[in-house]
């Protein structure tokens, strides 16, 4: 990073080397997880009033999951993870830090954990660190970031789609959902500095939402992948001190007046309902996968995001899951392909303004969204269901829809409409699925009518993914009625 650029009013080193201690040093740390008593934002649905005694730690508090951490039909003793013990020890180490720093005012506990925390984490290809999440339901795990490069993913998939260099603004407001270690926000600050750092009239406001204080603590303790991450560290430290989880001001960076970083330690579903309408220029949605956190990808949650984002605002998320894209469309957003980085497919970009979408979805994806059961979104009507219930409800709705008012998603049946298929097993399966809903053949009049909004030679052609998906879905409904 250019040190001269860092002299801007965004990023400045605090040369006052004295350590300011917060006198609010409650010895009772049993409520030190900010009284997170709701279903999680993708961390833990069990009322998180954690006692910092190591014997009472909920091992799943770092997991973006609202299923109370375990499959109700299994026990933790049956979990087979090579790194489970490291995960367990990390939780205990952070809990011990919370307890000891508040009670002793001794900075050595934080210094020691900062030196050793990387042994609990996974180093990605660009040198930044990530963490495994454990899915206790089926024995699978996933990392918080792509192992190709955690901080690089923040720039490529979240920050670059905003095109900050092309915009001239006095204030830019961003909502960072499941902010975790603060990588996305720090990448945003870095890009802001590069494009507007010397402009005293430009202001950046970031609202970070993260249920788990443990994830925030990791963000405070890990090596900063870029210098602007130190500003995030300072904001995290301030918040953890405010919550009586820490007591010492050890991060010697000053957050300037034209950078506003707010941190909410609570369920994102609760936080978003308390936000002002039409406020945000951008939203980062960076929860774990829809499989682990369907509550943060539900149609009902996206309706709230639609309310709080501006017309020209952009939502960026790494996932390309069909039910997620379907939920965006049904909530009113236009959707398109996001940048490809570290995964086989790109992420998703959503906006109220169709002109903000530069790359439409693939036609096959549009058909799967609008015509098949896999396009049925997750639903959470009152924003209070746990992940298992949301997941099972969708499974049931898909089963009810398949062959009745939606085409079966098996063998990707909708993509073969108006196409010739060679004789064989695939054709038999496709025709069976189509016949179940009353479509005689892939080349039938009915098949061509349903997908007409994708036919550029048709008067019914629609010029963006959202309109094509909705029109095809309406055509299917019209055919069935």
- 3-state secondary structure string, 289-356? CCCCCHHHCCHHHHHHHHHHEEEEEEEEECCCCHHHHHHHHHCCCEEEECCCCCCCCCCEEEECCHHH
> Which runs of E-coded beta strand occur in 64-181?
122-123, 129-130, 132-135, 140-143, 171-177
User: What pLDDT sits at residue 147?
Assistant: 85
pLDDT tens profile 186-235: 999 999 988 876 556 789 999 999 999 999 999 999 999 999 999 999 99
Q: Which pLDDT does position 88 carry in this prediction? A: 79
| 275-306 confidence digits (pLDDT tens) | 999 999 999 999 989 999 999 999 999 999 99
Picking from 214, 42, 33, 39, the residue whose alpha carbon sits closest to that of residue 135 is 42
Identify the residue whose tokens are 């025709």.
431
Q: What is the pLDDT of residues 229-240, one digit of tens each?
A: 999 999 999 999
For the stretch 421-472, pLDDT in tens is 999 999 999 999 999 999 999 999 999 999 999 998 877 788 899 999 999 9
What percent helix, strand, coil does the chain show, rounded to 5? 40, 15, 45
> The domain 150-374: what is its CATH number?
3.40.50.150
Q: What angle do CA 179, 181, 185 make, to 5 degrees?
A: 55
Q: Is the pLDDT of residue 19 over 50?
A: no
CB-count burial class (<10 Å; 0-12, 13-18, 19+) for 322: buried
pLDDT, tens digit, for every residue of 319-372?
999 999 999 999 999 999 999 887 778 899 999 999 999 999 999 999 999 999
Nearest partner of 386 among 269, 305, 274, judged by Cα? 269
Q: Where in the chain is the domain with CATH 3.40.50.150?
A: 150-374
pLDDT in tens, 53-108: 333 333 333 443 333 333 323 333 332 334 455 677 898 999 999 999 999 999 99
Give the mean pLDDT of the chain.
Answer: 83
Per-residue pLDDT at 95 = 95
């Amino acid at each position: 990073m250019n040190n001269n650029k860092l002299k801007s009013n965004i990023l400045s080193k605090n040369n006052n080397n004295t350590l300011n201690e917060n006198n609010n040093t409650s010895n009772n740390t049993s409520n030190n997880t900010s009284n997170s008593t709701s279903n999680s934002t993708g961390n833990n649905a069990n009322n998180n009033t954690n006692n910092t005694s190591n014997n009472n730690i909920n091992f799943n508090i770092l997991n973006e999951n609202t299923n109370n951490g375990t499959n109700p039909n299994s026990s933790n003793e049956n979990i087979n993870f090579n790194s489970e013990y490291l995960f367990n020890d990390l939780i205990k180490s952070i809990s011990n830090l919370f307890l000891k720093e508040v009670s002793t005012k001794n900075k050595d506990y934080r210094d020691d954990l900062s030196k050793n925390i990387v042994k609990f984490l996974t180093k990605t290809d660009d040198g930044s660190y990530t963490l495994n999440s454990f899915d206790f339901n089926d024995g699978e795990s996933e990392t918080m970031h792509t192992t190709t490069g955690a901080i690089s993913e923040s720039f490529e998939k979240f920050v670059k789609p905003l095109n900050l260099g092309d915009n001239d603004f006095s204030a830019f407001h961003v909502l960072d959902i499941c902010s975790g270690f603060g990588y996305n926000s720090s990448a945003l600050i870095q890009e802001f500095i590069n494009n507007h750092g010397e402009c005293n009239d430009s202001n950046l406001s970031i609202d970070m939402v993260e249920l788990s204080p443990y994830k925030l603590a990791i963000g405070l303790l890990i090596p900063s992948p870029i210098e602007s991450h130190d500003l995030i560290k300072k904001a995290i430290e301030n918040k953890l001190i405010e919550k009586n989880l820490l007591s010492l001001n050890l991060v010697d960076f000053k957050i300037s007046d034209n950078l506003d970083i707010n941190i909410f330690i609570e369920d994102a579903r609760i936080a978003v309902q308390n936000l002002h309408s039409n406020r945000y220029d951008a939203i980062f949605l960076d929860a774990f996968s829809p499989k682990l956190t369907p509550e943060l990808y539900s149609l009902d949650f996206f309706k709230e995001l639609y309310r709080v984002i501006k017309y020209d605002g952009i939502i960026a998320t790494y996932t390309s899951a069909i039910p997620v894209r379907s939920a965006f469309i049904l909530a009113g957003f236009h959707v398109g392909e996001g940048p490809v980085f570290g995964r086989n497919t790109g992420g998703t970009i959503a906006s109220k303004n169709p002109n903000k979408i530069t790359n439409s979805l693939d036609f096959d994806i549009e058909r799967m969204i609008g015509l098949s059961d896999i396009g049925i979104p997750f639903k959470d009507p009152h924003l209070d269901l746990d992940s298992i219930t949301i997941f099972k409800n969708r499974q049931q709705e898909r089963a009810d829809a398949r062959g009745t008012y939606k085409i079966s998603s098996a063998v990707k049946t909708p993509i073969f409409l108006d196409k010739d298929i060679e004789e064989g097993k695939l054709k038999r399966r496709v025709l069976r699925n189509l016949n179940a809903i009353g479509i005689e053949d892939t080349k039938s009049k009915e098949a061509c009518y349903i997908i007409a909004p994708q036919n550029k030679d048709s008067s019914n052609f629609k010029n963006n993914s959202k309109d094509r998906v909705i029109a095809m879905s309406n055509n299917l409904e019209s055919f069935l009625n």
